[in-house]
């Protein structure tokens, strides 16, 4: 019974390695091929790690408080992980997206995420064209939600994974280091 976890966050990281022994033999390889099986993270992907790290960084480096809103633009696993971790810690999560599968939409809503579809929001659709330049899109989202904050009184924390330093740091400090002794 000592292996019972009490938080989804305890089930993130320390993912196993799988050696592709049959492939190595079949191709007469001298090297070992190892896969890190990130799908066993609690929320199903490598993005679980970055969600925890990015929210940890907000808590350490900003004045974010429960009830504040974290904003991301993602159609995938980052949004799912952020929604789950944000909810656990008392934050709201808002995902700006072009489109989602029905399954991802259901999962995000189950974790309490608010969704803004670009096609339904002309102001964001104009900025979405900047997505090919992640820094410009980040600036656009920050400006958009600064204005929105003045209108609705909510506090928004823009969290673009692609420019978030915590994203890179957690991959470097954990993913590659786990199971280092093989």
Q: Which residues are catalytic?
A: 47
Alpha helices in the chain (DSSP H): 21-26, 47-61, 77-89, 102-110, 122-128, 134-152, 165-170
Nearest-angstrom CA–CA distance, 166 and 91:
18
Report whether 78 contacts 50 (CB < 8 A).
Answer: yes
In the three-class reduction of DSSP (H, G, I as helix; E, B as strand; rest coil), residue 28 is classed as: coil
With both helix axes pointing from N to C terminus, report the angle between 77-89 and 102-110 in degrees, rounded to the nearest 10.
10
Picking from 162, 164, 154, the residue whose alpha carbon sits closest to that of residue 92 is 154
- Per-residue CA distances from 61 to 58, 64, 100 (Å): 5, 9, 31
Angle of CA points 28, 37, 80, to nearest 5°: 150
């Amino acid at each position: 019974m000592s292996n019972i976890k009490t938080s989804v966050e305890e089930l993130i990281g320390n993912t196993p390695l799988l050696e592709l022994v049959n492939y190595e033999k079949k191709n007469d390889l001298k090297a070992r091929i190892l896969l890190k099986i990130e799908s066993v993270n609690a929320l199903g992907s490598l993005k679980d790690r970055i969600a925890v790290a990015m929210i940890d960084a907000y808590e350490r480096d900003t004045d974010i408080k429960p009830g504040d809103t974290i904003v991301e633009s993602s159609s995938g696993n980052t949004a799912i992980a952020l929604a789950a971790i944000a909810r656990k810690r008392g934050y709201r999560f808002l995902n700006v997206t072009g489109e989602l599968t029905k399954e991802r939409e259901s999962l995000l809503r189950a974790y309490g995420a608010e969704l803004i579809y670009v096609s339904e929001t002309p102001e964001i659709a104009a900025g979405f064209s900047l997505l090919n330049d992640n820094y410009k899109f980040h600036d656009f989202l920050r400006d958009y939600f600064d204005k929105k904050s003045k209108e609705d009184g909510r506090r928004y924390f823009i969290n673009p994974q692609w420019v978030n330093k915590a994203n890179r740091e957690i991959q470097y400090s954990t993913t590659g280091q786990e199971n280092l002794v093989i």
